[in-house]
């Protein structure tokens, strides 16, 4: 998605052209990883996009400050809790900026997932400014400021400087020819960002967006490009590999050739990440409205078989190629989930885990669409399975015949048989959940494909597994429903969905599955 309005209507105020020799600030020996990295020729891609150099070198960038008004950014686009924190710090005499992905999203006219504030104030000063504020994190401490029920993250320039090299400011002055401390301080912070499109800095009071790294140009070209050399960047923080996937999926951007090359060739590094970090990144991918695109990219770059081997094995069995544009039931389920979610309207992680388990159960044993429909209705009604079966018998809508997970329904399927098959599906889903959280079963998933990397990664914690299991606890044969309550109304309450409220989660689960199996325009291909 190329944004034609960016950069063409902007009135830019250019600093003198300066060569940013920031690659030399992060020279790293590749050691054992070097053997797995192929050389990319210098030059240009077929579409005329400049190709990054793989070897450590220099990148010429023009430092720019652009009018936020010309970029289409107004104060009303900033969330009220964020504005309160900005005003609180500014009134104390501190410099404040919005940084990171929120600036990118504002330029793209997208609703940011959250707003990150960077300030000249020390973190202790931030704590003194707000009544409900705490410092969190040891390695990279930041402030959590609570405004009502909302949380705003605030970081400090001083923390950023401590995390960079001690002689950074001197080197930046030498490489840029600048004596401006403010430029050097801002640039120093931007150079610690992951991608150029996240390296923008917005002063909402001066109404200026600072672009030191060519981020605006990469937004225009719809490109995800690392700030420093991609191989170095991903070795410094291998979570950036997953963030590259997430950002490209959410924005519909392509990765630069260099970035894509190292995402693929260094994908094995994600195994070094803490399991909690992997869960967080996967939740960002699957719970915020870009799950289908994220799964496609994870598969394309060979990461799915490391993180979700069970789902990767399904794609292999179904003959799904790395760059396949066609769909299947797994992708269709998440495409329908995406229609209901957005960066500011996410779901609880238990929902997408439940969808993965449901699909695995069907992939292992295909079933009649009527069985699936009755199960969904039982989940939605919080366990009134007898009513669910009665309603199912009246369904006349055609199911999607292209899914290999569905078999043709039997004629005159009797009530008791349908009831038994629904309960059997319920058992299969819970068994699938068990397998998804058992390293032994995960490692077996790709055993038939020796070319795939070995993985027995379990990143779903016990508490989350139990929460996903409780979504289906209401499906019982007994007439007594153990106090389960069904959701009232059809409108999604997104606050409840994010908190993992069970009636809300069950409602959305049933809606996603039913719309996938019984779409308005079903495929009649066999």
Domains of the chain: 64-164+181-215 (3.30.460.10), 222-273 (no CATH), 275-525 (no CATH)
Find out whether 515 and 334 touch, Cβ atoms under 8 Å: no
Q: Is residue 163 packed enough to be buried (19+ CB in 10 Å), middle (13-18) or exposed (0-12)?
A: middle
pTM for the whole structure = 0.84
Whether the pLDDT of residue 489 is over 80: the answer is: yes
Q: Is residue 47 packed enough to be buried (19+ CB in 10 Å), middle (13-18) or exposed (0-12)?
A: exposed
| CA 461 centroid distance within chain | 19
Find out whether 142 and 153 touch, Cβ atoms under 8 Å: yes
Q: Is residue 159 very low, low, confident or very high in pLDDT (cuts 50, 70, 90)?
A: confident
The more confident residue out of 344 and 166 is 344
Element (H, E) at 220: helix 215-220
Calculate what percentage of the chain has a pLDDT beyond 70.
82
Give the mean pLDDT of the chain.
84
Q: List, for residues 325-381, the tens digit of each pLDDT value.
A: 999 999 999 999 999 999 999 999 999 999 999 999 999 999 999 999 999 998 988
Q: Is residue 189 very low, low, confident or very high in pLDDT (cuts 50, 70, 90)?
A: confident
pLDDT of residue 137: 85
Two structure tokens written together for 318: 């179904």
Two structure tokens written together for 179: 């004596």
φ, ψ for residue 115 (rounded to 5)?
Answer: -115, 130
- Which string of DSSP letters, residue by residue, matches 198-244? G-EEEETTTTEEEESSSHHHHHHTTEE-BSS-HHHHHHH-THHHHHH
Find out whether 336 and 352 touch, Cβ atoms under 8 Å: no
Whether the pLDDT of residue 51 is over 70: the answer is: no
Q: List, for residues 96-147, the tens digit of each pLDDT value.
A: 999 999 999 999 999 998 999 999 999 999 999 999 999 998 878 999 999 9
φ, ψ for residue 119 (rounded to 5)?
Answer: -135, 155
């Amino acid at each position: 998605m190329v944004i034609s309005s960016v950069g063409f209507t902007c009135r830019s105020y250019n600093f003198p052209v300066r060569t940013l020799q920031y690659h030399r600030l992060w020279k790293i020996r590749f050691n054992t990883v070097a053997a797995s990295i192929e050389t990319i020729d210098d030059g240009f891609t077929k579409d005329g996009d400049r190709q990054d150099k793989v070897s450590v070198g220099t990148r010429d960038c023009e430092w720019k400050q652009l009018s936020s008004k010309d970029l289409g950014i107004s104060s009303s686009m900033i969330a009220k809790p964020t504005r309160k924190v900005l005003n609180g710090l500014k009134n104390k005499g501190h410099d404040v900026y919005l940084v990171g992905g929120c600036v990118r999203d504002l330029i793209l006219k997208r609703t940011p997932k959250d707003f990150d504030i960077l300030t000249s104030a020390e973190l202790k000063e931030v704590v003194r400014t707000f009544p409900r504020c705490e410092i969190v994190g040891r390695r990279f401490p930041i402030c959590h400021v609570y405004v009502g029920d909302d949380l705003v993250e605030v970081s400090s320039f001083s923390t950023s400087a401590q995390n960079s090299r001690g002689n950074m400011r001197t080197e930046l002055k030498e490489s840029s020819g600048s004596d401006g401390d403010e430029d050097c301080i801002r640039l120093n912070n931007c150079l610690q960002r992951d991608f150029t499109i996240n390296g923008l800095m917005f002063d909402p009071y001066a109404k200026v967006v600072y672009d030191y790294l060519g981020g605006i140009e990469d937004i225009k070209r719809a490109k995800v490009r690392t700030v420093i050399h991609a191989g170095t960047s991903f070795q410094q923080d291998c979570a950036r590999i997953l963030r590259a996937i997430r950002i490209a999926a959410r924005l519909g951007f392509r990765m630069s050739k260099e970035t894509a090359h190292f995402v693929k060739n260094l994908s094995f590094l994600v195994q070094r990440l803490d399991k909690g970090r992997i869960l967080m990144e996967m939740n960002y991918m699957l719970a915020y409205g870009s799950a289908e695109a994220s799964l496609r990219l994870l598969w394309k770059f060979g990461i799915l078989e490391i993180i979700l081997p069970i789902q990767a094995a399904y794609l292999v069995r179904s003959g799904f190629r790395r760059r396949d544009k066609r769909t299947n039931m797994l992708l269709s389920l998440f495409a329908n989930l995406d229609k209901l979610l957005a960066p500011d309207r996410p779901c609880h992680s238990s929902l997408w885990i439940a969808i993965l388990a449901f699909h695995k159960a069907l992939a292992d044993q295909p079933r009649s669409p009527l069985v699936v429909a009755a199960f969904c209705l039982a989940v939605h009604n919080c366990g009134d399975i007898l009513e669910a079966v009665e309603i199912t018998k009246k369904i006349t809508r055609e199911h999607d015949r292209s899914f290999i997970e569905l078999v043709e329904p039997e004629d005159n399927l009797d009530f008791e048989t349908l009831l038994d098959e629904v309960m059997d599906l319920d058992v299969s889903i819970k068994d699938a959940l068990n397998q998804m959280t058992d390293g032994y079963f995960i490692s077996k998933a790709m055993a038939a494909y020796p070319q795939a990397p070995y993985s027995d990664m379990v990143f779903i914690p016990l508490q989350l597994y139990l929460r996903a299991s409780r979504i289906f606890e209401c499906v019982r044969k007994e007439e007594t429903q153990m106090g389960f309550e069904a959701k009232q109304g059809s409108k999604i309450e997104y606050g409840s969905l994010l908190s993992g409220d069970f009636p809300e989660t069950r409602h959305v689960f049933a809606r996603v599955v039913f719309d996938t199996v019984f779409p308005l325009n079903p495929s009649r291909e066999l």
